[in-house]
Structure 1
Amino acid sequence: MLVVDDNADMRAYLTRLLSPSWTVRTARDGEEALRDVARVCPDVVLSDVMMPGLDGFGLLRALRADPGTRAVPVVMLTARAGQEAAVEGFDAGVDDYLPKPFESAELLGRLRAVLERSRGRRGPVLPPATPAAAVPAPPPPRPRTAGSLPDTVPLPQAPSRAPGATTTTWRFASRASSIPALRRRLQALLLDAGLDEDRVHDLVLAACEAATNAVEHAQDPLEPVVDVGVTLDDGAVEIAVRDHGQWKERTSSMDRGRGSMLMSAFADVTAVPGPAGTTVTIRSPRPAA
């Protein structure tokens, strides 16, 4: 299996998820994927849509244009919302299309089904039906820009929500350079809380993906910041990532939408939009000691 994604954390995550069932190779973009395919043709390609250089649709068109790779199954992972996104993928010749967030079990099942269909045992897949996106209210004026803020902005400590729970909150400037700071702080906090390294890796990956989405796609934020809150109690870990902007229907050059992270069985991920921002919540049970 060839996994194509420009996000190194996502490539590592998918490799770890898929390796028990398949031999996994990875590529950072469409061009690198085509070079890899020219060396060894994979049984299936699992590709993100939005990537620098040759994106997922460009890779798909190149594979379909070559008689030697025309029959290679291609599954796309994307957070593009709406029926239009699914139709675009199927019109381009994709074998299956899985919008984010999703369950890891669903991804594994769809990959197996695509491989079965490629051997002639099943019929075509229909595009998934998705509800129409709500039209957001006009955003309020933006008073500040992220460039005027340090990566980490002071934020008052939030009260704990349940007896015995502790909540830690941070506010980050809405720019890419804030993500490494979030990664370091969150990893240290979760390890100090006694979570195992695999669980910490999964939670940090999901939270950083949600924060990256907020940085890249929140439109006209009232405050150019991303708020992150981590609540720890005896039963669960909950991470909330909130932006302060509007989210509009993506253009053809955008892929990741609100809360567009890989959603595996280790946690429940929800995204709640609103006119003043969106909160993505990642909740994972804490294994008993």
Structure 2
Amino acid sequence: MYETSYHRAGSVAEAAALMAKAEDGKFLSGGQTLIPTMKQRLAAPSDLIDLRSVEEMKGISEDGGTVTIGAATAHYDVATSEVVQRLIPGLASLAGGIGDPAVRYMGTIGGSIANNDPAADYPSALVALGAAVTTNKRSLSAEEFFTGMFETALDEDEIVTSVSFPVPEKSAYAKYPNPASRYAMAGVFVAKAKDGGVRVAVTGAGQDGVFRVADMETALSGNWSADAVAGVTVGSDDLLSDIHGSADYRANLVTVMAKRAVAAAG
């Protein structure tokens, strides 16, 4: 690792002030991607500004049909939250399947979505549930927030402070994990809103990160069942292809995972 200056911020305002002073600073919120990247000497920020101790960015609350999760909340806390398990069980299940126990205790929802790894789990949940991402500057819909592989709408000095999820009627997530990393080779989150709207979002398979499958949404709107998506295929032209699986293989996985997610949602 290259030399860096470490700062533990006590508030969002302090974190923003520290970033403004840094020559080439990076926010740290769990470090499950940034620290390994630094160890490989692929990143060399002048300053690391740790957000994990910012209390105003932690916690889970329910209000008026919306569940709000602080950006510094760990995956483990999302997975084991009584509120999330009761109101958005698909999200609790997703969080419980991220990485291994060490990753779930250290990694945070804010850090995950800010990094926007194309194989990360949370982006599919945010898009399928129609979540809103709140920063220290503004609020963005999930589809505005995620802009491409490892890319988001965040400015360099912008901090994700919380994510708000409308409570759905039904939700579930199913993924086929890479056996080594536990990252999704294809993960599908399905959600049926209380107004009847259906969203299907896919992670792990797309070259540009998370994406929706309109044909599956249409099929499920008319018939919420695994059979409804069984015959819906996804084109492979824009899907990832690597040593773990070809684009055609991932296209098939999307349909299989969609069926499993719908079945799990009930």
TM-score of the aligned structures, taking structure 2 as reference length: 0.30
Q: Which has the larger radius of gyration?
A: 1
Normalised by the size of structure 1, how large is the TM-score?
Answer: 0.28
